[in-house]
Chains A and B, each alone.
Chain A
Amino acid sequence: MAAIIRVENLTKKFGDLAAVKDVSFEVGKGEIFAFLGPNGAGKTTTIKMLTTLLAPTSGRLELDGLDPRTHMHEVRKRFGIVFQDPSLDQELTAYENMELHGVLYHVPRALRIERTESLLRLFELWERRNDRVKMFSGGMKRRLEIARGLLHTPKILFLDEPTLGLDPQTRNQLWTHVKHLNETEGTTVFLTTHYMDEADRVAHRIAVIDHGTIVTIGSSRELKESTGSDSLEEAFLSLTGTTIRDETANSTDQLRQVARLWSGRR
């Protein structure tokens, strides 16, 4: 299978903290690839570098044969993304958010109108299309983010924890739709999630990342077999351990925090 995403020895440092360390992997054309890892493992940082939002410290990146650093514009034409955190304009209505996205991504008008309706209906937002997003509940906002991300049909679709805080019904809708896109349009999907059952269900291959490095890559079955586990969740825990991770604070951060507390008291 030809690779559409190629990452070689990718490293990203923030000061002296390495968020991503010497990561290498490939994603094949038409593949659904899941990135699993505890909080702060480097998933979002990797996605940001692939989607031109962040420049890597070192290493090689390739999307559809193009380097996101030197061919930003060309690369941006090739992917769509659903971000982990909110990225809607809260003052605009749901419909206007879809419209804005469609225009920015050069979706022809007729197609844009047709797809907007079908997607808003699919995620049960059509009745509320003329309401401002700031009136929406958390789940509705999330659904709109997803609907918007699917409005144009990119070659590569990045989904960064798309189902965070969603009910099982919506999650089911989303993954059914994503699988359908993958099968009919050949869309490559790069996703991250904390729900192991989702990765198990849709992903062709899974990479487990922890502390900025890739622990293992393989299909769900391979991961389970190599760890002798019955479920992906079990395999994941045996690969990454059971300690709870803190997104930002490492020992130096904690030290700084103590120092700040003390200097504040003086």
Chain B
Amino acid sequence: MSAIYILWLRELRRYTRSRAQIVASLGQPLLYLIALGFGLGPVFQSAGRGSYLQFVAPGVIAMTVLFTSVFSGIALLWDRQFGFLKETLVAPVSRMQIVIGRTLGGATVAMIQGLLVVIVCLIAGFRPVNAAVIPVAIGFMALIAILFAALGTAIGSVLQDMQGFQLIMNFLVMPIFFLSGALFPLDNLPKVLSAVTAVDPLSYGVDGLRTALIGMSHFGVALDVVILCCIATVFLGIGSYLFSKIQL
């Protein structure tokens, strides 16, 4: 247990020390809110869909949690390059504990970052249906964070260098975001796109967040929770397995 705690604490310490990065990483969500929220707002409104800012804010929050958690997992690559990975690999601690500590740490960081974006959204004019739904939203943020931190760990265990990282960003993380329904409603989509969004785990995270925050649901909250929990467990399993296979 103490090993899980100290590795969790390490992620948090590293996060709180990168203040410039914290501020910088708020820039992208802010840009999405302003450019899309206000830019596409009139079109969305005239299509009879209501406020686009209200619609897109949960998507932007989900995006932040996705990016931060995947990055924290892939930071394994940095640990490999700077050598710290060796220190954890020879320690008399089960691989499962190391993966859980890292994943929970990364997930916590992603949630803090997500909460900061919630505040940014509130400042931009986003209003959740009522304040009581915030804990439910935080629950969904936690599920998204754990799921994708585990995915990041799995990827980070296999990646050897920075080239692979770019590949993962362009061909996995960006598609996960853009095809999740974070930016557009999931109804009345072309069949192929509809099928793709249905296999994207983030779709269920975004849907859960949107249901909680603005009461707009596509899959239904129960399905969202079940799917997120199942995929998170699978990813944790895969992450632990791949991590235990690392050789230096």
Taking Cβ atoms with an 8 Å cutoff, the residues of A that contact B are 48, 51-55, 73, 76-77, 79, 81, 83, 85-92, 96, 99-101, 103-106, 132
The reply to whether B13 and A53 contact each other, CB–CB distance below 8 Å, is no
Given contacts A91-B14, A92-B10, A101-B87, contact A73 B94 (CB under 8 A): yes
B88 CB-CB contact with A under 8 Å: yes
CB distance from A56 to the nearest CB of B (A): 11
Contacts of B84 in A (CB 8 A): 87-90
CB within 8 Å of A: which B162-216 residues: none
Sampled A-B contacts (17; CB under 8 Å): A52-B89, A52-B90, A77-B92, A83-B86, A88-B83, A88-B84, A89-B10, A89-B82, A90-B82, A91-B17, A92-B14, A96-B13, A101-B87, A103-B6, A104-B93, A106-B92, A132-B17
How many angstroms from the CA of A251 to the CA of B5 in the assembled complex?
49
The reply to whether B82 and A86 contact each other, CB–CB distance below 8 Å, is yes
Cβ 8 A contact of B86, one of A76, A87, A104: A87
The reply to whether B90 and A53 contact each other, CB–CB distance below 8 Å, is yes
CB distance from A88 to the nearest CB of B (A): 7
Name the CB-closest residue of A to B91. A104
The reply to whether B17 and A103 contact each other, CB–CB distance below 8 Å, is no
The reply to whether A100 and B92 contact each other, CB–CB distance below 8 Å, is no
CB distance from B209 to the nearest CB of A (A): 31
The reply to whether B10 and A81 contact each other, CB–CB distance below 8 Å, is no
CB distance from B212 to the nearest CB of A (A): 34
How many angstroms from the CA of A77 to the CA of B18 in the assembled complex?
34
B221 CB-CB contact with A under 8 Å: no
B46 CB-CB contact with A under 8 Å: no
How many angstroms from the CA of A89 to the CA of B6 in the assembled complex?
13
Name the CB-closest residue of A to B98. A104
CB distance from A116 to the nearest CB of B (A): 14
How many angstroms from the CA of A48 to the CA of B86 in the assembled complex?
10
The reply to whether A100 and B86 contact each other, CB–CB distance below 8 Å, is no
Q: Mark each residue of chain B from 3 to 18: 1 if its CB lies under 8 Å from any CB of chain A, else 0.
A: 1011100100110011
CB within 8 Å of A: which B84-115 residues: 84-94
CB distance from A85 to the nearest CB of B (A): 5
The reply to whether B92 and A99 contact each other, CB–CB distance below 8 Å, is no
How many angstroms from the CA of A258 to the CA of B102 in the assembled complex?
43
B47 CB-CB contact with A under 8 Å: no
Q: How many A-B pairs fall under 8 Å by CB?
A: 73
B130 CB-CB contact with A under 8 Å: no
The reply to whether A81 and B90 contact each other, CB–CB distance below 8 Å, is yes
CB distance from B18 to the nearest CB of A (A): 8
CB distance from B112 to the nearest CB of A (A): 17
The reply to whether A99 and B6 contact each other, CB–CB distance below 8 Å, is yes
Contacts of A53 in B (CB 8 A): 86, 89-90, 247-248
Name the CB-closest residue of A to B97. A104
Q: Of residues A53, A89, A104, which shows the largest number of chain B Cβ atoms within 10 Å of its Cβ?
A: A104
Contacts of B90 in A (CB 8 A): 51-53, 76, 79, 81
In the complex, given contacts A55-B247, A100-B87, what are 17 additional A-B residue pairs having Cβ atoms less than 8 angstroms apart? A48-B248, A51-B90, A76-B90, A86-B82, A88-B83, A89-B87, A91-B18, A92-B10, A100-B7, A100-B10, A103-B2, A103-B3, A104-B3, A104-B91, A104-B93, A106-B92, A132-B17
How many angstroms from the CA of A87 to the CA of B82 in the assembled complex?
7
CB within 8 Å of A: which B234-248 residues: 247-248
Ordered nearest first, which 3 A-B pairs have the shortest CB separation? A104-B91, A76-B92, A77-B92
The reply to whether B17 and A104 contact each other, CB–CB distance below 8 Å, is no
Contacts of B85 in A (CB 8 A): 87
The reply to whether A73 and B92 contact each other, CB–CB distance below 8 Å, is yes
How many angstroms from the CA of A169 to the CA of B88 in the assembled complex?
30
CB distance from A53 to the nearest CB of B (A): 5
Given contacts A55-B247, A91-B13, A100-B6, contact A105 B91 (CB under 8 A): yes
Contacts of B10 in A (CB 8 A): 89, 92, 96, 100
How many angstroms from the CA of A91 to the CA of B82 in the assembled complex?
11
Name the CB-closest residue of A to B89. A53
Contacts of B14 in A (CB 8 A): 89, 91-92
Contacts of A55 in B (CB 8 A): 247
How many angstroms from the CA of A73 to the CA of B244 in the assembled complex?
11
How many angstroms from the CA of A53 to the CA of B245 in the assembled complex?
10
CB distance from B78 to the nearest CB of A (A): 10
Contacts of A76 in B (CB 8 A): 90-93
CB distance from A144 to the nearest CB of B (A): 12
How many angstroms from the CA of A54 to the CA of B246 in the assembled complex?
9
